[in-house]
Chain A
């Protein structure tokens, strides 16, 4: 019967790569636990590692992650893989320092490995309150660092490339401290969506004081996402057709000259047509001459190469209005983005130790 069940689990384990994406991590966990119970250790280890590898919102919660790690520890003990068992147990200690394996469920060897992990693991822990939505700059994502000793550590938010996005804390952990991240990078801007991690490491002085022993890094993976915020598209720059020539040209000059001269001539000549035989007064010469002179003056003010201050001012106003609009809309968009929520999803913490 056991062999039949084991065969089924093996087949399902082989099929897992095809269906893993569609399968929930809790289902993988259950299958891993069942594999342990029927002593199908290889398939069980694979299933549990698979479940633990998923991060973000699809990953295991803290309780399930602890369950997966203790069963993985037990499987590795059963497979005589002591180092792997110890590594899984250390991850469990980091995840939940207060975790205690059930002595009725697990054999004494598993309990012993876990106790050894507790003794050898750095006495620091990191906890987050699950998925959190904050307004960058106004609210904070809080993690709690705990330690049974008083290590001096640094905590920072880092990108996947290791670059420090924001330094969060440098100092001693006495019992527990809260570390807050307001969602902004060192320059005060919200970083782009993606994967980040809070890294807690001992300071150089702490490493020296501890006799140059194991160096360790406590890592809390974070997935940062921001729901799309409606923003107003920026207005396009005014097209060239809207700008006026800033220097006179022949065409503009003629447009100014022709109406003036034509109207002036008409005023002088028309009285002869309207009231032929009448001796018109010199008033027509005064007005007609004035209009013609105004036309010539307008021509000179538009002549090729002549600066046209009113057009320059008009163009300047056009550009400034556009720049003002762009600045105003950019400011509003920035306000909307700032007021938009940032969702931070913490994953399972992990401890990496390095032996010098």
Chain B
């Protein structure tokens, strides 16, 4: 086998392995895949990315090809004379100043178009506010009188104009399948538009380093049909239901409303539940319809009894850096609170 055939075989093997790898990945779920755009804003970005990407690929192949060719062609051979001492070639150098300039112009024109298109506030949009906290998201629907956390429900097909702000440090709002990032700047109010063209759950997470538990500040967007969204919003606007007397949930509600725990802390000091007198704290998430959420703790933990049990035993033990301290609850208290919280549909 000659060296050349060997090299060719090698190439085929490498290419095959890459293909296998890629096809293996195709089966893996990739819920934050920027290529898999699920709305017009993300599509606009991809429509710009792909032409730029292919220009880059062509330039890359040409440059590396030229390099490899030069290396093979001009390798030193025994007895070769000292090469001609060429100092340059003005015409060539001007050529490869102009060609990249033209290529970049080709990138710049659509870039500017897309910048302005993304900045426009779309008509007929739903307004929501997302507020960053270390390390969770508060979500408000001012026109619908709804406050929730970490999970943003939106109607499919309607642009959503998100106002983002921060109560502490800089965070960044990012749902890769719906739109690019928008930083949350303390002291400033920023905006971005997201829109989903299909029903589904779209994951995201904070994209600006915001301290200790940055990795656990996640969020998700649930895109629903307009009818489902309206039903959801109508339910969310209602105050919490009071559980029937004598149930574990009722005991849990009593604990929530009246319990005093380690260092005299009370649930109501930090959390709001509409319909419970005195429960108007704003340091932690609004829990009015907590049972309706699929996750908690900065959308990092599935909303299951097990996870809640772990959380109530020791919040910072489950989620590093959680502000809620270990309240020293007994197992019975925890079970009652779980029953109450899960009932807050």
Q: Do A and B come together as binding partners?
A: no
